[in-house]
Structure 1
Amino acid sequence: MPSYLPVEVIDIIISHIDKSDSSILLNVSLINREWCLIGILHLWKNPFIKINSKARFKVYSKIITILLSHLDDRTQSFLKVKDSFDKLIS
């Protein structure tokens, strides 16, 4: 089903959603493709949203691993994370 709202309007609507509740942002991203693209962008603006889970450390470590994997080799070497990152993914 095509979206009848321009992407800019979807972005404005999503920007008014409470950012402290990641489940609302996730549900909004399931509406359709346009809402998904904008919703995921808003989720990644603050990946450390309060997670209501006992496994918070595990979730945060996965997010940090993803973020570190996108750094170039020089930056990873500077931060001394290259070796530890390789151990995590192997």
Structure 2
Amino acid sequence: MDARISKQRTALVLDQPFFGALALRLKVVEDPSCKTFWTDSVSIGYNPSYLSQLNDLQTRGVLAHEVLHVAGGHCWRQGDRDPDLWND
């Protein structure tokens, strides 16, 4: 796992414990094939090139965003819908 993601997950636990606790339950996976970040309710995947463009606060925000997808049940409600359209 990227050290910046680890640091920002810890910051999320301290700043927003609810979201931080959820973030800690998700495995972090480096995925150069994706554009930005993704989640499947088990993992958070990220593109290292995209991550390198983000500052610490933006990284924490993206992690919280992905956690909210899981908290909102988006991964389970997607069904057979096109993943790109569903994400939009």
TM-score for both structures, normalised by structure 1: 0.24
Structure with the bigger RCO (C-alpha within 8 Å, sep 6+) is 2
Higher helix share: 1
TM-score for both structures, normalised by structure 2: 0.24
Larger radius of gyration: 1
